[in-house]
Chain A
Amino acid sequence: MNSFLQYTVQGLAAGSFYALAALGLAIIFGVLGVVNFAHGACYMLGAIVAARLQDLIGLDFWLALIVVPILMFIFGVAIERLLVSRLIQLDPLYNFLLTFGLTLLLVDLVKRQYGVSGLPYARPEILSGQFSVGDVRLPVFQVFVFVFSLLVCAAVWLLMTRTRIGMIVRASTEKPDLTRSLGVDVGRWVTPVFGFGIALAGLAGVLASPFRAITADMGSNFIIILFAVVVIGGLGSIVGAVVAGFLVGLVEAFGQAYAPQLSQIMIFMLMAAVILWRPAGLFGREETA
């Protein structure tokens, strides 16, 4: 029972990274219709930038949680303006390919600059230890990651459902033409939304930096799992992305605990099961293909 709770917390912590990044992926897909292949690379950049800023100017973890997403937002805006927007009128597969090319470019640039061994990152003192719940000892950091990402997801959800900006974004996702004819400048929201999605991937990266090895390849496997997450949750569904993110984290943690050789494969088995049972994903709407 003790280990059960430990694995659950571990799974929810791992799922936090997936949930945050998948949330960004889902929002971008919702508004732009673009699946951002470079999302894993942006997660990696978030961690790399956090590690480099700590090394160069001593930026601590707490400030990095604010500063790095802002930098990633600017990066995302630049990518959208310079590259993605040029292909937005065409088949969405072109932007998928474009961001794939961007991934190759970013990963190898980072690899060339910082090598293949991981960058060091000092974990804040307060997050280092463990604390006890009854007779179960839980790592503080895992609990923090879970609570923090849950708060961010809740904040994004409130932003989307309770504010005017969220209303406009949701309207332009569901009925772009109708929204436009009601006098809303849909195009104006595309760039900030893309930046926001990238910032979420960067935030996941910062959050992972004291926790995982910071290497150029840290996003390579991440992006594949992320795709499985959004397929399971239903592409474009915000709730689906978050729920599936935590679900996949749990599958991964319990898989590692009880069947270490199968842990990664189990995620894809879950995806296959969802595709067979509900092709549109757990929270996706059925479309006529």
Chain B
Amino acid sequence: MSATTTDESATRPEETASGRPGGTFLGKSTRRWLLLGIGLALALSLPWFIYPPIALDIACWALFAVALDLLLGYAGLLSFGHAAFWGGSAYVTGLVAIKMGLPFPLAVLAGMLFAMALAAPIGFMSAKRSGIYFAMVTLAFGQMLYFVVNQWRDLTGGENGLQGVPINFFGIEAIEDEPFYFYYAALPLILLGMWFAWRVVHSPFGRVLVATRDNPARARALGYNVEKYRVMVFVLSAGLAGLAGGIFALGHGFVSLQEVAWQTSGKVVLVTVLGGIGTLWGAIIGAAIIVLLEDFLASAGFDGIGIITGAVFIVVVLLFRSGVWGTVANWVARRSGKKVETDAIGAADSEQGL
């Protein structure tokens, strides 16, 4: 995206190839499996020490942020309209669950497909530009869905939202009625989404994405259709956001207009930037921090949440641009004597932290 990124990407392969294997800290693959183990253990034990609906919120927002990071961290595209896919899927999932009574994974699948179908034309138009233009165009298109949902009251309930979204699962009451068990029923879908994102990042497709991010002109010269890759990753990212949004809707039992508002798009960007751009683990940590912080503020009766989240955003962007995960990873890297990257957008190492 910028001149500096190309320089860094040029030095990067050499750096990883010369392979100080892990430095002072375990080997790379050992570290990866260890992290994965800790992550899974945390995901499985979360509802035991956190109120289960909040645990589900964290899981949904984590997948949402992973979806956004797929786009921002690996394709270098900042989407400010992802609420359209998260919220759009939430509405479709809710409607399918209410009107057709399908088992919940099928309702979520319907929402996900809707999000991807919606993302195709938006991605096609937005991908004509990158950088700041992309952010503004996706923001405006995302807001379009907000107006549609707000106007189409008969179907969506307008400002009242979509009430009474049921969880249907073959009449198994524990899952249908208790948030604690629904968490475990929904978790496999969330983990599947995250695994998919990880696969995309570590596939040849993912490598091409990084190339289109670091040097679109060179990628084009090598014969890759940059716009096509951007649209494809946009649709995949929207699908994952839709998966997260659909589960979120079921977990809450209703869908509010807030889910398609641009503030939600902004929130997922905040979660991703806070956790660390270009690190899928960071997105998960960011989600945990923001959901817990908002829950804490709301239960403390503080009504100006934006004051805190806005201030957090400003501080992170000014001082910790590589996010929580990136800052810690850099600290570890510095201790083992490696070169540290500071500019996170478009320059994050796709291998970092995974």
- Chain A residues near B264 (CB, 8 Å)? none
Contact A94 B306 (CB under 8 A): no
> Is A139 interfacial (CB 8 A cutoff)?
no
The residues of B that contact A288 with a CB separation of less than 8 Å are 217
Q: What distance in Å separates the Cβ of B342 from its nearest Cβ neighbour in chain A?
A: 9
Decide if A107 is an interface residue (CB 8 Å cutoff): yes
Question: What residues of A have a CB within 8 angstroms of the CB of B303 in the complex?
Answer: 111-112
- Contact mask for chain A residues 237-276; partner B; CB cutoff 8 A; 1 contact, 0 none: 0000000000000000000000001101100100110011
Instruction: Decide yes or no whether A289 CB sits under 8 A from chain B.
Output: yes
Residue of A at shortest CB range from B266?
A: A100
Given A92-B131, A97-B273, A265-B148, CB of A35 within 8 Å of CB of B310: no
Which residues of A in the span 103-120 have a Cβ within 8 Å of any Cβ on B?
103-109, 111-112
Residue of B nearest to A287 (CB): B129
* Chain A interface SS verdict (over half): helix
CA gap between A145 and B249 in the complex, in Å: 44
CB of A227 within 8 A of CB of B125, answer no
Contact check, B136 vs A230: say whether CB atoms are below 8 A apart.
yes
User: Measured between alpha carbons, how far is A106 from B313 in the docked complex, in Å?
Assistant: 13
Tell which of B78, B135, B216, B307 touches A105, judged by Cβ atoms closer than 8 Å: B307
How far, in whole Å, are A107 and B309 apart by their CA atoms in the complex? Answer: 12
A105 to B136, Cβ gap below 8 A? no
Please, how many angstroms separate the alpha-carbon atoms of A256 and B50 in the complex? 48
Chain B residues with CB under 8 A of A96: 78, 132, 135
Q: Which residues of the partner chain B approach A111 to less than 8 Å between Cβ atoms?
A: 303-304, 306
Q: Is A279 part of the contact surface with B, judged by Cβ < 8 Å?
A: yes
B217 → A minimal CB distance (Å)? 8
Rounded to whole angstroms, the CA-CA distance of A87 and B321 in the bound complex is 10
Q: Contact mask B318-354 → A, CB, 8 Å, 1/0?
A: 1001000000000000000000000101100000000
Name which residue of chain A comes closest to B143, CB basis. Answer: A224
Query: Which one of B132, B151, B305, B309 has the highest number of Cβ atoms from chain A below 10 Å of its Cβ?
Result: B132
Known: A98-B318, A275-B125. A108 touches B306 (CB 8 A): yes
- Cα–Cα, bound, A275→B227 (Å): 14
Residue A68 at the chain B interface, CB threshold 8 Å: no
With CB as the reference atom, state the residue of chain A lying closest to B306: A108
Interface contact A108-B305, CB-CB below 8 Å: yes
Q: Mark A56-100, 1 if CB is under 8 A from B, else 0.
A: 000000000000000000000000000100110011111011101
Q: Judge whether B262 is part of the interface by a CB distance below 8 angstroms.
A: yes
Least Cβ–Cβ distance between A160 and chain B, in angstroms: 22
At the interface, yes or no: A22 with Cβ under 8 Å from chain B?
A: no
Chain A residues within an 8 Å CB radius of B139: 224, 227
A104 contacts across to B, CB distance below 8 A: 263, 266, 306-307, 309-310, 313
Closest 8 CB pairs of A and B: A101-B313, A105-B310, A108-B306, A104-B310, A104-B306, A268-B144, A101-B314, A108-B304
Q: List 28 A-B contacts (CB under 8 A).
A: A35-B132, A83-B318, A90-B343, A91-B2, A92-B132, A93-B78, A93-B135, A97-B273, A97-B317, A98-B313, A104-B307, A104-B309, A104-B313, A105-B307, A106-B310, A109-B307, A111-B306, A112-B307, A220-B262, A235-B133, A265-B144, A268-B143, A268-B147, A271-B137, A275-B128, A275-B129, A276-B125, A289-B131
Q: Which residues of B are at the interface with A, using a C-beta cutoff of 8 A?
A: 1-2, 78, 125, 128-133, 135-137, 139-141, 143-144, 147-148, 151, 216-217, 262-263, 266, 269-270, 273, 303-307, 309-314, 317-318, 321, 343, 345-346
| Chain A interfacial positions (CB closer than 8 Å to B) | 35, 83, 86-87, 90-94, 96-98, 100-109, 111-112, 220, 224, 227-228, 230-231, 235, 261-262, 264-265, 268, 271-272, 275-276, 279, 288-289
